[in-house]
Amino acid sequence: MKIVSFDDYRIGVLTDDGVVDVTPVVGPVPDSLKWARMLVFIEDWDKNKATIEKMAQDGPAVDLDKVRLMAPVPSPRKVYAAPANYRAHQDEMKVANFSPGAADLAASADYGMFLKASSSVVGPQDTILRPYTDRLIHHESELVMVIGKHGSTIPLAESMNYVFGYTCGLDITVRGSEDRSKRKSFDTFAPIGPYIVTADEIADPGDLEVSLYVNEDLKQHAFTKDLIVDCPNLVANMSWVATMEPGDLLFTGTPDGVGEIKPGDMVTITISGVGEMSVPVESRV
Ligand code: MN
């Protein structure tokens, strides 16, 4: 299934006929907590899945162009991210190559992780806003996992059971010497979408093709089979650090080809089987 957030934190299933509103399955939520509805929806997925499937079949569906899509998880508790997780990107950034070997990385202290502010998340109909005119700001195209269950120190063999689905993500980054968490946490620096594809529709997250265009130019093109730390190991390793919660996002790292984005650009990411999203760039200064 393809799951969207739309209009005022409503939840929908995207079907061939359009968006079917399934918000009522979550039950009443105070208006001040509507941002958390998707977190409840994901947490209760197993319990409500059959009901949601029936609602999606019965409709009615609203045309996609009649709604405003938000980030599919508008307000995640956490946004995990993997640093330089493709060999060719390590090379272009001139950082030390990391070679995990065949060992179980679940508890490895060697591999990196950082957090982006959850407030940096925006949706497929929003705009990336550059906070500086005189700094180098890059696009990074990434497969994003959406976590489905609470889990701490998750064993590698079970880690993919904790993944609810997948979406496209842009890890927008100011280059420079400040801590990563500052350079990657500006408002609008984590566009995701346009929808979550539930995990049952992706046979192997290690067999996806990722492309990124700036305007008409192909800038990044890679295959997730070339991830240095693959999806199962990312979940296991990061859950060793911080307890995973439903709706958490995990940016899996970008391939080579990162480059500057400027006001007026249109950034398009496509991931096979996962979706396509185009987000414009403007300046906020
Ligand atoms: Mn990144």
User: For residue 93, what pLDDT band results from cuts at 50, 70 and 90?
Assistant: confident
Once rounded to an integer, what is the mean pLDDT over residues 184-203? 98
The CA 12 to ligand 1 mean position distance, Å, reads 28
N residues, the chain: 285
Residue of 96 and 73 predicted with greater confidence: 73
The CA 270 to ligand 1 mean position distance, Å, reads 16
List the beta bridge partners of residue 78.
none
The CA 118 to ligand 1 mean position distance, Å, reads 15
Name the DSSP class of 39: H
Q: What is the largest CA-CA distance in the chain?
A: 54
The CA 139 to ligand 1 mean position distance, Å, reads 9
Percent of the chain with pLDDT over 90: 89
**What is the signed CA dihedral for 89, 95, 243, 44, rounded to 10 degrees?**
-10
The CA 90 to ligand 1 mean position distance, Å, reads 11
The CA 267 to ligand 1 mean position distance, Å, reads 15
Once rounded to an integer, what is the mean pLDDT over residues 49-53? 98
Residue of 82 and 95 predicted with greater confidence: 82
Distance of CA 101 to the CA centre of its chain: 26
Q: For position 102, what pLDDT does the model report? A: 46
The radius of gyration computed from the CA coordinates of the chain, to the nearest angstrom, equals: 18
Q: For position 90, what pLDDT does the model report? A: 81
The CA 116 to ligand 1 mean position distance, Å, reads 10
How far, in Å, CA of 250 to CA of 202, rounded? 16
97-132 pLDDT per residue, tens: 666 654 555 666 667 899 999 999 999 999 999 999
Once rounded to an integer, what is the mean pLDDT over residues 232-247? 95
pTM, full prediction: 0.96
The CA 157 to ligand 1 mean position distance, Å, reads 25
The CA 173 to ligand 1 mean position distance, Å, reads 8
140-156 pLDDT per residue, tens: 999 999 999 999 999 99
Q: For position 88, what pLDDT does the model report? A: 81
Q: For position 112, what pLDDT does the model report? A: 85
Q: What does pLDDT average to over the chain?
A: 94
Once rounded to an integer, what is the mean pLDDT over residues 171-187? 97
Q: For position 98, what pLDDT does the model report? A: 66
Contact 224, 85 (CB under 8 A): no
The CA 13 to ligand 1 mean position distance, Å, reads 28
Domains of the chain: 2-66 (no CATH), 79-283 (3.90.850.10)
30-44 pLDDT per residue, tens: 999 999 999 999 999
